[in-house]
Amino acid sequence: MESIDELLLKAEAAHGHLCAGQILGVRMALLGLDRLGISDPHGADRKRLVTYVEIDRCATDAVGMVTGCRLGKRTLKFRDWGKMAATFVDLTTGRGLRVVALEDSRELARQLYPHIENPGEQQMLAYRELPDSQLFREQWVSVTVDAAELPGSKGQRLRCSLCGEGVNFGRFVEVEGQRLCLSCARPDLRYWTLES
Ligand SMILES: [Zn+2]
Ligand SMILES: [Zn+2]
């Protein structure tokens, strides 16, 4: 595994800036990989790992960078729960380590560096040096990744009976004998409305 300094340089380049979230994300991912015994996530171990992230903030970019898990590879799963937490799952065993950043860490950073005014600066310094046990809670969990969620899963590709758009990975529902994409089946959940 690369050193934390090397990883932070890469995280900064990929994310656009260095921030407390990058440091937390890099450390969460390093902890998860270490506990799972995964040392080469971009090479030999790249098919072993799926990562679930529970927040869409800075740390998420760093987690993806360190683990090599990406949305486009179907190895990064997003649960929009607003929690600074991630679960690193070893597909060969179905075991995962869920890592949650502790709420107290900001206060710890303030106590460690009271002479620094900017909370972001306090946190960047503290999050580099505090031990994992003071920054994170760890839980071993078992995770069943549904076959339709796995990398490489294809399933049937079909066209929605209403909009005609192609749909992958079995993401359709049958309504009165018609196969509809999820957007046509539940227009109330669409994130868009068509301009007239
Ligand atoms: Zn950031
Ligand atoms: Zn449709």
Q: What are phi and psi of 32, to 5 degrees?
A: -60, -45
- Which pLDDT value is given to residue 1? 80
Looking at the predicted structure, is the pLDDT value of residue 45 above 90?
yes
Cβ(168)–Cβ(155) below 8 Å: yes
48-95 pLDDT, tens digit per residue, is: 999 999 999 999 999 999 999 999 999 999 999 999 999 999 999 999
**Residue 40: pLDDT band by 50, 70, 90 thresholds?**
very high
**Residue 154: pLDDT band by 50, 70, 90 thresholds?**
confident
Whole-number Cα distances in Å, 29 to 2, 147, 164:
12, 24, 40
Between vectors from CA 89 to CA 87 and to CA 76, what angle results, nearest 5°?
70
Looking at the predicted structure, is the pLDDT value of residue 153 above 80?
no
Tell me the ligand closest to 19's alpha carbon. Answer: 1
Predicted model pTM: 0.92
Taking the centre of ligand 1 as the mean of its atom positions, its distance from the CA of residue 76, in whole angstroms, is: 19
Indicate the SS3 state at residue 86.
strand
Taking the centre of ligand 1 as the mean of its atom positions, its distance from the CA of residue 24, in whole angstroms, is: 10
Taking the centre of ligand 2 as the mean of its atom positions, its distance from the CA of residue 156, in whole angstroms, is: 15
Half-sphere exposure of 77 (CA within 13 A, CB side): 17
Who surrounds ion ligand 1 at CB < 5 A? Answer: 19, 21, 58
Task: Please state, in angstroms and rounded to a whole number, the distance separating the CA atoms of residues 81 and 55.
Answer: 6
- Which pLDDT value is given to residue 156? 82
Whole-number Cα distances in Å, 138 to 20, 92, 135, 187:
20, 20, 10, 39
Task: Please state, in angstroms and rounded to a whole number, the distance separating the CA atoms of residues 168 and 159.
Answer: 9
99-138 pLDDT, tens digit per residue, is: 999 999 999 999 999 999 999 999 999 999 999 999 999 9
- Which pLDDT value is given to residue 64? 97
- Which pLDDT value is given to residue 167? 95
Tell me the ligand closest to 58's alpha carbon. Answer: 1
Taking the centre of ligand 1 as the mean of its atom positions, its distance from the CA of residue 167, in whole angstroms, is: 34
Taking the centre of ligand 2 as the mean of its atom positions, its distance from the CA of residue 13, in whole angstroms, is: 38
166-194 pLDDT, tens digit per residue, is: 999 889 999 999 999 999 999 999 999 99
3-state class percentages of the chain: helix first, strand second, coil last, to nearest 5: 40, 20, 40
